[in-house]
Every structure is written in C-alpha cells, then in structure tokens.
Amino acid sequence: MRTVTLERDIIMHPAGSCMVSFGNTRVICTATIENDVPPFLKDSGKGWLTAEYGMLPGSTGGGRKRRDGIKKDGRSTEIQRLIGRSLRAALDLTKLGPVSILIDCDVFQADGGTRTASITGAWVALYDALTELAKQQGQEGPEYYLSGQVAAVSVGIVDGRVVCDLDYEHDSSACVDMNVVKCGEHLVEVQGTGEQGTFSRDELNQMLDAADRGIAEIYKIQRKSLGI
C-alpha cells in the first residue's frame, strides 16, 4: 500500500474537515450540518446524509480538468452516490433527527484511488461533524449515531499478482480492478471488473483478503488521527 495520511480540521467553517492522501492522490473532505431534510423525509423523524464529489482543475494529467457544470459527468455522479451509500451504512438515521449531513469530496491531485480515498477521508470528517452534533443535541458522542467505522481501498491484479491500493500506473495496466468498502467487519460494496479479461473465484478471494488487510491498516490510521 501507499502511505496513507489524514489531516483533520483543515477548514474552519464545516463541522468536520479532513485532507486525505493515498500516496500522491489527495482529497479534501468536508462534512456540513444543516437543520433540514429532503422533502421525502419531511415529518419522518429521520435525518439524511448525502455526498458530492468533484475533481478540481489541475488535478489530473493530460491537460486541465474542466469544472463540473450544473449537471455532473456520469463518473462523478456514480462516485458521489457510492460515497453517500458507504457512509449511510454506518449511520442510524433515526437518531439524527431532522438533520442533514452534507459531505463534499474535492480531488485536487489524482493518482488513482480517488473514490476509496474520498470514502476514507469523509468518514473522518463525518466523525468530527457527529461530535459537534452530539454536543448540540446533548448526546455523549458520535458513537451514539454510528454503527461502525468505514474505509475503502482498491485492489487489482497487475502482471499476474495481487496489488492493494492501485496508483494510476497500476490501475491503467491492471487486468482486474476492484474497489472494496467496509463498515467494521462487514462489506458495504464491492465493485470489480475484468478490465482486460476474466478472473477466477480464487483470484477474487485473494483480492478480498488483500483488501481486508489494507482496510485493517486504514482503520488504525483513522483511529489514530481521531485519537480514539
């Protein structure tokens, strides 16, 4: 795996913020609390969490990345939905009350694994936001709302071997590419594709085992950054 770092409280205004680095991939993640919910949750007593994801100009090679307009491109939309699903898997929405948490993940340097880095950093920003919300609502702490810890990592098969946490060079040459998201010991999502062929059940198990080991290390880094 590449070196993973998490730097909290990098922006003063959101309830939670974090800069996450997976090697040369760097993402700013923020979590903002709003005392409102979407129309479909009005009067339900439940809260909500949603996410937005984008890549800033200059974040990629091969020329300037255009800013997303009002309508995001398909890739950004798919990734932000993944981030939202992943974090909601760890939340008890009934305990939030009529509150929404808005997650923003902005990639300012991309070298592979931007979605897995975003999920990992966003969970840290979410934890800090829930710490603030617990103070506002008179709860003991963020664990009141959380059912688990969330992190993600990419794995793949490159030149016949399993690689955990693919950078761009690995990703572009991988014959199999997979993203794995976990909440505690449980899988939230597995996205696997045979980019240049097929893969066996045994190879799938090898990649999942590698992801387990990688996410276990990321969990430790998250907890250390939060002091828990």
One-letter amino acid at 133 equals: L
Residues of the chain above pLDDT 70, percent: 94
The domain locations on the chain are 4-226
User: Which has the closest alpha carbon to 207: 171, 179, 185?
Assistant: 179
- Give me the helix-helix angle, 201-226 and 114-137, nearest 10°: 40
Fold adopted by 4-226: Ribosomal Protein S5; domain 2 (3.30.230)
Question: pLDDT at position 195, please?
Answer: 79
User: Tens digit of pLDDT for each residue in 77-120?
Assistant: 999 999 999 999 999 999 999 999 999 999 999 999 999 999 99
Task: Please give the residue that has the higher pLDDT: either 15 or 66.
Answer: 15
Classify residue 227 by burial, with Cβ atoms within 10 Å: 0-12, 13-18, 19+. Answer: exposed
Q: Are 124 and 221 in contact (CB under 8 A)?
A: no
Considering the entire predicted model, what is its pTM?
0.93
**Span 33-52, pLDDT tens digits:** 999 999 999 989 999 999 99
